Protein backbone atom coordinates (compact mmCIF):
# COMPACT_ATOMS: atom_id res chain seq x y z
CA UNK A 1 0.00 0.00 0.00
CA UNK A 2 1.46 3.38 -1.01
CA UNK A 3 1.75 6.38 1.33
CA UNK A 4 -1.24 8.16 -0.18
CA UNK A 5 -3.46 5.10 0.30
CA UNK A 6 -2.28 4.78 3.91
CA UNK A 7 -3.13 8.44 4.53
CA UNK A 8 -6.62 8.01 3.05
CA UNK A 9 -7.27 4.90 5.14
CA UNK A 10 -6.00 6.66 8.29
CA UNK A 11 -8.26 9.65 7.70
CA UNK A 12 -11.23 7.34 7.03
CA UNK A 13 -10.49 5.47 10.27
CA UNK A 14 -10.22 8.71 12.26
CA UNK A 15 -13.37 10.24 10.74
CA UNK A 16 -15.30 7.03 11.43
CA UNK A 17 -14.11 7.24 15.03
CA UNK A 18 -15.16 10.88 15.28
CA UNK A 19 -18.64 10.09 13.93
CA UNK A 20 -18.93 7.32 16.53
CA UNK A 21 -17.90 9.83 19.21
CA UNK A 22 -20.54 12.32 18.07
CA UNK A 23 -23.24 9.66 18.26
CA UNK A 24 -22.01 8.06 21.51
CA UNK A 25 -23.66 8.73 24.90
CA UNK A 26 -22.21 11.48 27.09
CA UNK A 27 -19.21 10.67 29.26
CA UNK A 28 -16.85 12.21 31.81
CA UNK A 29 -16.16 15.95 31.49
CA UNK A 30 -13.18 17.96 32.70
CA UNK A 31 -14.39 21.58 32.88
CA UNK A 32 -12.13 24.61 32.90
CA UNK A 33 -11.38 25.61 36.54
CA UNK A 34 -13.95 27.86 38.22
CA UNK A 35 -11.81 31.00 38.11
CA UNK A 36 -11.24 30.53 34.37
CA UNK A 37 -14.94 29.80 33.84
CA UNK A 38 -15.84 33.18 35.32
CA UNK A 39 -13.37 34.91 33.06
CA UNK A 40 -14.28 32.97 29.94
CA UNK A 41 -18.02 32.57 30.68
CA UNK A 42 -18.19 28.89 29.74
CA UNK A 43 -20.23 25.98 31.11
CA UNK A 44 -18.52 24.22 34.00
CA UNK A 45 -20.69 21.11 34.16
CA UNK A 46 -22.22 18.69 31.71
CA UNK A 47 -21.00 17.21 28.51
CA UNK A 48 -19.90 19.43 25.63
CA UNK A 49 -22.41 17.86 23.28
CA UNK A 50 -25.24 18.93 25.58
CA UNK A 51 -24.02 22.53 25.72
CA UNK A 52 -23.00 23.05 22.09
CA UNK A 53 -24.70 22.34 18.79
CA UNK A 54 -22.23 20.73 16.37
CA UNK A 55 -22.39 21.93 12.77
CA UNK A 56 -20.52 21.21 9.51
CA UNK A 57 -16.87 20.24 9.38
CA UNK A 58 -14.42 23.14 9.04
CA UNK A 59 -11.22 21.16 8.51
CA UNK A 60 -9.08 18.22 9.55
CA UNK A 61 -5.57 17.45 10.73
CA UNK A 62 -3.41 14.46 11.58
CA UNK A 63 -5.62 12.94 14.28
CA UNK A 64 -8.58 15.26 14.54
CA UNK A 65 -11.42 17.14 12.92
CA UNK A 66 -12.72 20.65 13.54
CA UNK A 67 -16.42 21.46 13.31
CA UNK A 68 -18.50 24.59 13.46
CA UNK A 69 -20.29 24.88 16.78
CA UNK A 70 -22.81 27.06 18.56
CA UNK A 71 -23.03 27.48 22.31
CA UNK A 72 -26.61 26.72 23.23
CA UNK A 73 -27.06 29.22 26.05
CA UNK A 74 -26.13 32.36 24.12
CA UNK A 75 -25.60 31.44 20.46
CA UNK A 76 -21.84 32.08 20.57
CA UNK A 77 -20.24 30.66 17.43
CA UNK A 78 -17.26 28.44 18.25
CA UNK A 79 -14.97 25.81 16.77
CA UNK A 80 -15.14 22.29 18.23
CA UNK A 81 -12.08 20.09 17.75
CA UNK A 82 -12.37 16.32 18.19
CA UNK A 83 -9.08 14.41 18.45
CA UNK A 84 -8.60 10.65 18.57
CA UNK A 85 -6.03 9.54 21.13
CA UNK A 86 -3.00 7.68 19.79
CA UNK A 87 -1.53 4.81 21.86
CA UNK A 88 1.55 6.83 22.86
CA UNK A 89 -0.11 10.24 23.18
CA UNK A 90 1.76 12.42 25.71
CA UNK A 91 0.11 13.87 28.80
CA UNK A 92 1.08 16.94 30.80
CA UNK A 93 0.43 18.26 34.29
CA UNK A 94 -0.94 21.81 34.42
CA UNK A 95 -1.51 23.87 37.58
CA UNK A 96 -5.14 23.68 38.65
CA UNK A 97 -5.63 20.19 37.27
CA UNK A 98 -4.74 17.30 39.62
CA UNK A 99 -4.41 14.71 36.86
CA UNK A 100 -2.37 14.66 33.67
CA UNK A 101 -4.22 15.92 30.62
CA UNK A 102 -3.51 15.53 26.89
CA UNK A 103 -0.50 17.58 25.83
CA UNK A 104 -2.41 19.66 23.27
CA UNK A 105 -5.04 20.72 25.81
CA UNK A 106 -2.40 21.45 28.46
CA UNK A 107 -0.26 23.60 26.16
CA UNK A 108 -3.30 25.51 24.91
CA UNK A 109 -4.32 26.22 28.51
CA UNK A 110 -0.77 27.35 29.37
CA UNK A 111 -0.69 29.68 26.36
CA UNK A 112 -4.08 31.08 27.48
CA UNK A 113 -2.92 32.09 30.96
CA UNK A 114 -3.75 35.59 32.18
CA UNK A 115 -3.29 38.16 30.92
CA UNK A 116 -4.88 36.68 27.82
CA UNK A 117 -3.08 37.27 24.54
CA UNK A 118 -5.38 38.21 21.63
CA UNK A 119 -2.78 36.76 19.22
CA UNK A 120 -3.40 33.22 20.55
CA UNK A 121 -6.62 31.28 19.97
CA UNK A 122 -8.78 31.18 23.10
CA UNK A 123 -9.83 27.84 24.60
CA UNK A 124 -13.35 28.03 26.02
CA UNK A 125 -14.00 24.48 27.20
CA UNK A 126 -12.60 20.97 26.95
CA UNK A 127 -13.10 17.39 28.03
CA UNK A 128 -10.94 14.30 28.17
CA UNK A 129 -12.48 10.91 27.36
CA UNK A 130 -11.05 7.42 27.19
CA UNK A 131 -10.30 7.32 23.47
CA UNK A 132 -10.65 10.95 22.43
CA UNK A 133 -10.63 14.51 23.69
CA UNK A 134 -12.60 17.60 22.68
CA UNK A 135 -11.68 21.27 22.74
CA UNK A 136 -14.05 24.18 22.26
CA UNK A 137 -12.23 27.19 20.82
CA UNK A 138 -13.16 30.70 19.83
CA UNK A 139 -14.10 31.10 16.17
CA UNK A 140 -13.14 34.55 14.89
CA UNK A 141 -15.45 35.78 12.13
CA UNK A 142 -14.80 36.51 9.40
CA UNK A 143 -11.47 34.72 9.13
CA UNK A 144 -9.37 32.43 6.97
CA UNK A 145 -6.00 30.81 7.38
CA UNK A 146 -2.97 32.81 6.27
CA UNK A 147 -2.25 30.50 3.35
CA UNK A 148 -5.70 31.21 1.88
CA UNK A 149 -5.31 34.90 2.68
CA UNK A 150 -2.00 35.12 0.80
CA UNK A 151 -3.44 33.21 -2.15
CA UNK A 152 -6.41 35.59 -2.24
CA UNK A 153 -3.96 38.49 -2.53
CA UNK A 154 -2.14 37.09 -5.55
CA UNK A 155 0.25 34.61 -3.85
CA UNK A 156 2.26 37.29 -2.04
CA UNK A 157 1.69 40.26 0.26
CA UNK A 158 2.96 43.81 0.25
CA UNK A 159 5.45 44.64 2.99
CA UNK A 160 3.02 46.71 5.01
CA UNK A 161 0.53 43.86 5.30
CA UNK A 162 3.29 41.32 5.95
CA UNK A 163 4.76 43.58 8.65
CA UNK A 164 1.40 43.85 10.42
CA UNK A 165 0.97 40.07 10.39
CA UNK A 166 4.55 39.33 11.43
CA UNK A 167 4.37 41.73 14.37
CA UNK A 168 1.43 39.75 15.76
CA UNK A 169 2.92 36.32 15.06
CA UNK A 170 6.18 37.27 16.77
CA UNK A 171 4.22 38.47 19.79
CA UNK A 172 2.32 35.15 19.90
CA UNK A 173 5.58 33.18 19.66
CA UNK A 174 7.19 35.19 22.47
CA UNK A 175 4.18 34.80 24.74
CA UNK A 176 4.17 31.05 24.18
CA UNK A 177 7.84 30.79 25.09
CA UNK A 178 7.41 32.94 28.21
CA UNK A 179 4.62 30.63 29.34
CA UNK A 180 6.69 27.49 28.82
CA UNK A 181 5.17 26.47 25.49
CA UNK A 182 7.12 25.55 22.36
CA UNK A 183 4.48 25.58 19.60
CA UNK A 184 6.79 23.88 17.09
CA UNK A 185 4.49 24.28 14.09
CA UNK A 186 4.12 27.98 13.29
CA UNK A 187 3.10 28.06 9.65
CA UNK A 188 0.56 29.70 7.35
CA UNK A 189 -2.08 27.04 7.95
CA UNK A 190 -1.87 27.57 11.72
CA UNK A 191 -2.51 31.31 11.60
CA UNK A 192 -6.00 32.76 11.28
CA UNK A 193 -6.48 36.22 9.77
CA UNK A 194 -9.60 38.35 10.27
CA UNK A 195 -9.92 40.07 6.91
CA UNK A 196 -11.86 43.00 8.41
CA UNK A 197 -9.61 43.85 11.36
CA UNK A 198 -6.36 42.19 10.23
CA UNK A 199 -6.10 40.54 13.65
CA UNK A 200 -4.02 37.34 13.61
CA UNK A 201 -4.38 34.33 15.90
CA UNK A 202 -2.04 31.37 16.38
CA UNK A 203 -3.88 28.03 16.51
CA UNK A 204 -3.23 24.27 16.84
CA UNK A 205 -0.80 23.24 19.58
CA UNK A 206 -0.95 19.60 18.48
CA UNK A 207 2.76 19.44 17.60
CA UNK A 208 3.85 21.42 20.64
CA UNK A 209 5.85 20.50 23.71
CA UNK A 210 6.97 22.10 26.95
CA UNK A 211 10.02 24.34 26.84
CA UNK A 212 13.28 22.82 28.05
CA UNK A 213 16.83 24.10 28.29
CA UNK A 214 18.79 21.27 26.70
CA UNK A 215 16.99 21.02 23.39
CA UNK A 216 15.17 18.33 21.45
CA UNK A 217 16.19 15.41 19.26
CA UNK A 218 12.97 14.42 17.48
CA UNK A 219 11.37 17.05 15.27
CA UNK A 220 7.60 17.36 15.31
CA UNK A 221 6.19 19.90 12.94
CA UNK A 222 6.04 20.66 9.22
CA UNK A 223 9.05 19.58 7.18
CA UNK A 224 9.48 22.72 5.09
CA UNK A 225 9.71 24.82 8.26
CA UNK A 226 12.31 22.49 9.81
CA UNK A 227 15.67 24.22 10.50
CA UNK A 228 18.92 22.72 9.12
CA UNK A 229 20.38 21.87 12.56
CA UNK A 230 17.82 19.09 12.96
CA UNK A 231 19.48 17.05 10.20
CA UNK A 232 23.01 18.42 10.64
CA UNK A 233 23.31 18.11 14.43
CA UNK A 234 20.38 15.90 15.35
CA UNK A 235 19.44 18.41 18.04
CA UNK A 236 17.59 21.70 18.04
CA UNK A 237 16.44 24.36 20.51
CA UNK A 238 13.09 26.09 20.81
CA UNK A 239 13.93 29.76 20.25
CA UNK A 240 16.30 29.47 17.24
CA UNK A 241 13.90 26.95 15.65
CA UNK A 242 11.01 29.35 16.12
CA UNK A 243 13.05 32.17 14.55
CA UNK A 244 13.82 29.96 11.53
CA UNK A 245 10.14 29.10 11.05
CA UNK A 246 9.23 32.79 11.30
CA UNK A 247 11.85 33.58 8.65
CA UNK A 248 10.39 30.96 6.31
CA UNK A 249 6.95 32.38 6.99
CA UNK A 250 8.03 35.93 6.13
CA UNK A 251 9.90 34.80 3.01
CA UNK A 252 6.85 32.96 1.70
CA UNK A 253 4.53 35.88 2.47
CA UNK A 254 6.54 38.49 0.57
CA UNK A 255 8.09 36.30 -2.14
CA UNK A 256 5.26 33.88 -2.83
CA UNK A 257 7.45 30.77 -2.88
CA UNK A 258 9.66 28.65 -0.63
CA UNK A 259 13.33 29.73 -0.61
CA UNK A 260 15.55 27.79 -3.00
CA UNK A 261 18.99 26.47 -2.13
CA UNK A 262 20.41 29.41 -4.06
CA UNK A 263 18.32 31.82 -1.98
CA UNK A 264 19.45 30.18 1.25
CA UNK A 265 23.09 30.28 0.17
CA UNK A 266 22.91 34.03 -0.50
CA UNK A 267 20.98 34.54 2.72
CA UNK A 268 23.70 32.75 4.72
CA UNK A 269 26.21 35.18 3.20
CA UNK A 270 23.85 38.06 3.98
CA UNK A 271 23.94 39.12 0.34
CA UNK A 272 20.37 38.17 -0.60
CA UNK A 273 18.11 40.79 -2.15
CA UNK A 274 14.90 40.74 -4.16
CA UNK A 275 13.50 43.40 -6.49
CA UNK A 276 10.53 45.14 -4.93
CA UNK A 277 11.56 44.41 -1.34
CA UNK A 278 13.11 46.98 0.94
CA UNK A 279 16.64 46.54 2.23
CA UNK A 280 15.25 46.25 5.76
CA UNK A 281 12.92 43.41 4.76
CA UNK A 282 15.73 41.47 3.06
CA UNK A 283 17.89 41.97 6.14
CA UNK A 284 15.07 40.78 8.39
CA UNK A 285 14.73 37.58 6.38
CA UNK A 286 18.50 37.06 6.38
CA UNK A 287 18.71 37.55 10.14
CA UNK A 288 16.19 34.73 10.63
CA UNK A 289 17.41 32.22 8.06
CA UNK A 290 21.04 31.79 9.05
CA UNK A 291 22.01 28.11 8.86
CA UNK A 292 23.98 28.46 12.09
CA UNK A 293 21.35 28.90 14.82
CA UNK A 294 23.76 30.98 16.91
CA UNK A 295 23.92 33.59 14.13
CA UNK A 296 20.15 34.08 13.98
CA UNK A 297 18.45 37.05 15.51
CA UNK A 298 17.12 36.40 19.02
CA UNK A 299 13.41 35.74 19.21
CA UNK A 300 13.01 38.38 21.92
CA UNK A 301 14.67 41.03 19.70
CA UNK A 302 12.83 40.39 16.45
CA UNK A 303 10.26 43.13 17.04
CA UNK A 304 13.12 45.63 17.44
CA UNK A 305 14.52 45.01 13.95
CA UNK A 306 14.81 48.01 11.63
CA UNK A 307 12.10 46.55 9.38
CA UNK A 308 9.53 47.23 12.09
CA UNK A 309 10.69 50.82 12.44
CA UNK A 310 9.89 51.67 8.80
CA UNK A 311 7.11 54.24 8.49
CA UNK A 312 4.13 52.98 6.49
- Which is nearest to 293 in space by CA: 237, 212, 225, 247? 237
**CA quadruple 287, 291, 296, 302: dihedral positive or negative?**
positive
- Which is nearest to 40 in space by CA: 49, 53, 48, 31? 31
Q: CA 36 to CA 44: how far, in whole Å?
A: 10
| Residue 185 among the catalytic residues | yes
Q: Which of 131, 185, 292, 306 is catalytic?
A: 185
248 near 258, Cβ under 8 Å?
Answer: yes
| 159 Cβ contact list (under 8 Å, min separation 6) | 254, 277, 278, 281, 310
Please state, in angstroms and as integers, the Cα–Cα distance from residue 180 to each residue in 109, 173, 212, 303, 310, following that order: 11, 11, 8, 20, 32
236 near 229, Cβ under 8 Å?
Answer: yes
Q: Mind telling me the catalytic residues?
A: 185
Amino acid sequence: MDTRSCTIHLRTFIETGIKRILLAPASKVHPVPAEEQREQNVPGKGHIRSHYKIGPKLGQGGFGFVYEGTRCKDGLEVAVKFSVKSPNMPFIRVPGHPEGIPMEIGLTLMANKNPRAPEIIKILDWEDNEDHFIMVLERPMPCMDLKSFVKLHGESLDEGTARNIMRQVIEAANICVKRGVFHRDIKMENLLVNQDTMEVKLIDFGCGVQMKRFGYKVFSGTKIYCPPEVTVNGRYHAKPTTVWSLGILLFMMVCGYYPTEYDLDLISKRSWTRPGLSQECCQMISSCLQSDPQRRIHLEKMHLHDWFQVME
